[in-house]
């Protein structure tokens, strides 16, 4: 009798399943057939198979075209991962590559025009798609976002930050000048300084001399007239300086210092912002718009509802017009801003996960004002909420 096959729970069967599940060695992978072999013997058998020979004939007809396609696909997926995971931050290129090859269906580098990762990184730097630099720890890359919409939003945010403190600085400078001008006009008499009486020697006598006080002479009419004119001019200048300082004083009084409660609330909000600010934002039940033509022209600029979120960055959406279901990455869609008075979901930031009411829209700064509807902070009004931090909810 022949030997029975190993059972399902035998060590050999378990080892075979583990090998089949994980990534195998790159030298035993066939990119044309997209087949991963587990050992050298299996790879040799695959090379002699009819399916592989047919793929080789197709490759031999136009090898440059296939290599260009693999290279373009590898570059696109690498840049998408870099943009989605790290944005414009500086990161080690090998770290991004390790995350990229963790996907089992990725395009292998040995099928592209670049033999090493260093050559590929230099290519990204020459094309201007990334900012690259070399250190002792290896090559580092930073994604260059050339999207016109992103550049316009960044410029609007910078202009908004400048406007916030320029008005305040202008007011404070005006107040300071008025105060300095008033101090220069007013002549405050110097007060006499009194010192303690000390005796150097105990035996020395203290003598006091009293000088005779001369009688004041009567002033002439001319002297009194000049004195009165001088006093009148001095009082006039003092009055003008006082009137100039009045509006500045009222401005200073109106500006109240923040209370301890306001400082505590501001610190707590900053803490929540750091904790809840993530690089992923998809959530079930929100309405999004497809902005990537890769999904098809009939879905471009169309709206859909997110039905399910997978792996934080990937979502299952259902098109509102056709009802088709698609699996998309969050970079392929964007948030939708509803009409004023409608309900939105805060998808990122300090109030992430809370529903709110849209109060107003500031198109110049790409921001909104919302009122929180749920949670402990219900009724709180939040200003300057960016478009990408809120999204329309399916009614």
The reported pLDDT for the residue numbered 232 is 58
Q: Is the domain 280-336 a CATH 3.30.465.10 member? A: no
* Residue ranges, the chain, pLDDT below 50: 1-2, 218-223, 245, 247-254
Q: 25-143: CATH homologous superfamily?
A: DNA/RNA-binding protein Kin17, conserved domain (1.10.10.2030)
The reported pLDDT for the residue numbered 395 is 79
The reported pLDDT for the residue numbered 243 is 57
Asked if 313 contacts 282 with a C-beta cutoff of 8 angstroms, the reply is yes
The reported pLDDT for the residue numbered 220 is 47
Strands 303-310 and 325-329: unpaired
Q: Which fold has domain 337-395?
A: SH3 type barrels. (2.30.30)
pTM (2 d.p.): 0.39
Task: Count other Cβ atoms within 10 Å, centred on residue 186.
Answer: 13
The reported pLDDT for the residue numbered 219 is 47
Angle, helices 148-185 vs 221-254, to 10°: value is 150
**Residue boundaries of the structural domains of the chain:** 25-143, 156-183, 280-336, 337-395
The reported pLDDT for the residue numbered 235 is 56
The reported pLDDT for the residue numbered 242 is 54
Task: Count other Cβ atoms within 10 Å, centred on residue 222.
Answer: 8
Tokens representing residue 274 in the block: 């750091």
- Which residue in this structure is represented by tokens 């007011």? 171
236-291 pLDDT, tens digit per residue, is 655 555 555 454 444 444 455 566 666 777 777 788 888 888 888 999 999 999 98
Domain 280-336 and domain 337-395, same fold? Reply is yes
Asked if 387 contacts 337 with a C-beta cutoff of 8 angstroms, the reply is yes
């Amino acid at each position: 009798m022949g030997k029975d096959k190993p059972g399902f729970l035998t060590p050999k069967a378990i080892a075979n399943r583990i090998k089949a599940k994980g990534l195998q060695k790159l030298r035993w992978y066939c990119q044309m057939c997209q087949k991963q072999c587990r050992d050298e013997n299996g790879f040799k058998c695959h090379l002699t198979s009819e399916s592989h020979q047919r793929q080789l004939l197709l490759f031999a007809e136009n090898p440059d075209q296939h290599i260009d396609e693999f290279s373009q696909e590898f570059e696109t997926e690498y840049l998408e991962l870099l943009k989605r995971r790290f944005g414009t931050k500086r990161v080690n290129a090998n770290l991004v590559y390790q995350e990229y090859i963790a996907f089992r269906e990725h395009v292998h580098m040995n099928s592209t025009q670049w033999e090493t990762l260093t050559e590929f990184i230099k290519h990204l730097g020459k094309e201007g798609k990334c900012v690259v630099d070399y250190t002792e720890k290896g090559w580092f890359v930073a994604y260059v976002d050339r999207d016109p919409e992103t550049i316009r939003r960044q410029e609007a945010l910078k202009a908004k930050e400048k406007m916030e403190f320029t008005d305040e600085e202008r007011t404070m400078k005006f107040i300071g000048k008025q105060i300095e001008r008033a101090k220069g006009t007013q002549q405050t008499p110097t007060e006499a300084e009194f010192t303690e009486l000390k005796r150097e020697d105990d035996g020395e006598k203290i003598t006091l001399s009293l000088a005779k006080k001369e009688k004041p002479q009567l002033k002439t009419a001319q002297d009194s007239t000049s004195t009165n004119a001088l006093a009148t001019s001095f009082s006039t200048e003092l009055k003008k300086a006082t009137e100039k300082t009045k509006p500045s004083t009222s401005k200073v009084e109106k500006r109240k210092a923040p209370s301890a409660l306001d400082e505590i609330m501001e610190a707590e909000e900053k803490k929540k912002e750091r904790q809840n600010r993530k690089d992923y934002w998809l959530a079930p039940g929100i309405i999004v718009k497809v902005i990537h033509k890769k999904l098809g022209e009939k879905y471009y600029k169309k709206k859909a509802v997110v039905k399910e979120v997978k792996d934080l960055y990937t979502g299952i959406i259902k098109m509102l017009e056709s009802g088709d279901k698609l699996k998309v990455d969050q970079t392929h869609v964007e948030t939708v801003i509803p009409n004023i008075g409608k309900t939105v979901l805060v998808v990122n930031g300090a109030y992430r996960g809370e529903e709110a009411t849209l109060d107003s829209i500031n198109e110049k700064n790409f921001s909104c004002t919302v009122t929180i509807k749920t949670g402990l902070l219900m009724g709180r009004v939040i200003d300057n909420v960016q478009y990408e931090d809120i999204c329309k909810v399916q009614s």
